[in-house]
């Protein structure tokens, strides 16, 4: 079954580490990331280093992402 990761640290208390996201991106069942950590630099870095689709989890960042 396909899985979308949801990085939402303000609800879970911890953000997914960059290296963890890159490792998970290589797994065939991981198909996307929904990002709600509100850090455009970190999200841009992730987008440049893997080809998973990244969706905005914060309404105000929909356009920049």
Tell me which residues are annotated as active site. 6, 34
Alpha-carbon distance of 23 to 56, in angstroms, equals 20
The closest alpha carbon to 20, from 41, 40, 49, belongs to 49
Alpha carbon distance 12, 34 (integer Å): 14
């Amino acid at each position: 079954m396909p899985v979308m990761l949801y990085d939402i640290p303000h609800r879970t208390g911890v953000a997914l580490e960059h290296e963890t996201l890159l490792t998970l991106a290589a797994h065939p069942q991981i198909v996307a990331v929904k990002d709600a950590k509100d850090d455009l630099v970190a999200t841009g870095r992730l987008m440049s280093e893997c080809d998973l689709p990244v969706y905005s989890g914060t309404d105000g960042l929909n356009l920049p992402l």
